[in-house]
Amino acid sequence: MDDCHRYRVEPGSRPRLADLDPAEHEGATGKREAKARIEATGRRLRELQYLLYAENRRSLLVCLQALDAGGKDGTIRHVLGYMNPQGCRVHAFRVPNEEEAARDFLWRVHRRTPRRGEVAIFNRSHYEDVLVARVHGLVPKAVWSRRYAAINEFERLLHENGTHILKFFLHISKEEQLRRFRKRLEDPGRQWKISEADYEERRYWDDYQLAYEDALHHCSTAHAPWYVIPADHKWYRNLAVSQILLQTLEGLQLQLPPPRVDLEAIRRRYHRELADKDGRED
């Protein structure tokens, strides 16, 4: 787990998802210890987020993709929930609305990119336009196949403007998905959100795997890598994502900016004067 970059898809390579075990939990000693480590990592992530904000030069964009019940919401809750909400925005991209559908596929995504100092989390992303759009034939192949290059150029533009991009595919098995669907069926707190479409989509499982493989192959770049996270075990998924976030942010060597004012002059000018005036300061 300390070498969590092993889950990174090397640029140009083509992962076979069937060969990657979604139930892997290598090197981690167990759920309880993982939780403690995620908690400690979360506190450090918050400190690093503060430095990112203070530095005000760079930003972080986290894209989460998965099949239904893959754990996008849970990852946000358990890992990204450590971030200070001031300075961290989550955007869930659903079916495009009329305003969005009337533009190119990157328009709605571009306007949600993080500003300097900010963290943005995409719950689903522009990758839906080479996944669901492809699997369901929403656009012809001539259209979706050109999108990989558009995505790479777009992500390069963001990167060159100081945005660090991490893309996570939360990889679960077909059996684990069904297990989670069944749990939802028996959980009164979540029955309200069950839809038949969840089940219908399982018919396209293999098509989705292929579409993901192509997206991972074409769009894992040095400046915007994809990670395939074994996600059958929720605690391991959270641990892996938190460690990758941690190592990425530590790697930025974020620095507090220097004071903008002469602190000594401020001390002389205001604190003594005000202390005298108020008569209450020590």
What is the CA angle 116-218-155, rounded to 5? 15
CB of 20 to a copy of itself, least distance (A): 19
Local structure of 185: helix, strand or coil: helix
Strand order in the sheet with 119-123: 88-92, 119-123, 59-66, 163-171, 226-230
189 touches a copy of itself by CB under 8 A: yes
Q: How far apart are CA 209 and CA 261, in angstroms?
A: 55
Told to check if 89 binds a copy of itself by CB under 8 A, we report: yes
Q: Which of residues 140, 193, 222, 276 is near a copy of itself by CB under 8 A?
A: 193
Q: Give the x/- contact pattern for a copy of itself in 124-153, rule: CB under 8 A.
A: ------------------------------
Applying CB under 8 A, the site for a copy of itself has a residue count of 52
Select the residue interacting with a copy of itself from 81, 110, 115, 136 (CB under 8 A): 81
Closest CA to 117 of 161, 45, 56, 158: 56
For a copy of itself, give the closer residue by CB, 3 or 281: 281
By CB under 8 A, residue 185 contacts a copy of itself: yes
| Minimum distance, C-beta of residue 142 to a copy of itself, in the bound complex (Å) | 35
Show the tokens assigned to 208: 């989705």
Question: What is the SS3 assignment for 30-43?
Answer: CHHHHHHHHHHHHH
Q: How far apart are CA 253 and CA 164, in angstroms?
A: 13
Determine, following the binding rule CB under 8 A, whether residue 260 of this chain makes contact with a copy of itself: yes
Closest CA to 224 of 102, 109, 94: 109
Task: Provide DSSP, 217-231.
Answer: HHH--SSS-EEEEE-
Among 80, 130, 135, 246, binds a copy of itself (CB under 8 A): 80
Query: Does 271 interact with a copy of itself (rule: CB under 8 A)?
Result: yes
- For a copy of itself, the binding residues (CB under 8 A) are 50, 54, 73, 76-77, 80-81, 83-90, 92, 121, 123, 174-175, 178-179, 181-182, 185, 188-189, 191-196, 199, 202, 256-261, 263, 266-267, 269-271, 274-275, 278, 280-281
